[in-house]
A and B are shown apart, each in its own frame.
Chain A
């Protein structure tokens, strides 16, 4: 299996520009998570989808952030407009949730997108 695929791996943009991060979860997984990692705040959950439906988006910093999962094969995280404080590594993770708690922890992470907003 190819694992979770994220693109781009690196993104450098200027403040005010739109940024779109992409994620392809592991085939057959039905839960998808977007995380942000910074030195100051560590690893934080931004949004969590189950069967393509957003379950918890309380971690999304503000309206500038939006995420979509149009199907089980693909998700995007968009920042518009971007700001320097959005600079971080963004991870996507997926898991297979069978309806209980036991599979939530086996989240498989992608390699991340390192975002730098100048």
Chain B
């Protein structure tokens, strides 16, 4: 069964203190790993898609990387406005079809203090 596990559940950082969030996955044939950001009271907002091991993508202070077993979301010199819950998801295919659904992890709640 396809599965996504995120760690830690919660992370508190001081402004400027860099760190990484982890997303471990088990999927039969990775077709895509996705990172979303969710602010309180809002829906998830798409950040990145990674398709193959070794791939990296960046957006402002965020960089996502992918290996064969896990993905990391690196946050460099975070600011209070980076505080949010970060969700990781993998694409689980419907059998041999070319479509599927996203399986989400439980998320990591990041708090950045000024």
List chain B residues, Cβ under 8 A from A111: 41-43
Q: Is there contact, CB below 8 Å, between B43 and A112?
A: yes
Q: Which of A43, A45, A56, A100 has the most CB of B within 10 A?
A: A43
List chain B residues, Cβ under 8 A from A50: 99
Partner of A45, one of B44, B102, B105: B102
The minimal Cβ–Cβ distance linking A1 to chain B, given in whole angstroms, is: 14
Smallest CB-CB separation from B42: which chain A residue?
A111
1/0 contact trace for B85-114 toward A, CB 8 Å?
Answer: 001010100100011111011110000000
Partner of A101, one of B41, B46, B87, B91: B91
A61 to B34, CA, bound (A): 25
The minimal Cβ–Cβ distance linking B80 to chain A, given in whole angstroms, is: 22
Smallest CB-CB separation from A91: which chain B residue?
B43
Smallest CB-CB separation from A3: which chain B residue?
B43
List chain B residues, Cβ under 8 A from A45: 101-102
A116 to B89, CA, bound (A): 27
Smallest CB-CB separation from A108: which chain B residue?
B46
Q: Is there contact, CB below 8 Å, between A42 and B43?
A: no
Q: Is there contact, CB below 8 Å, between B91 and A104?
A: yes
The minimal Cβ–Cβ distance linking A44 to chain B, given in whole angstroms, is: 8
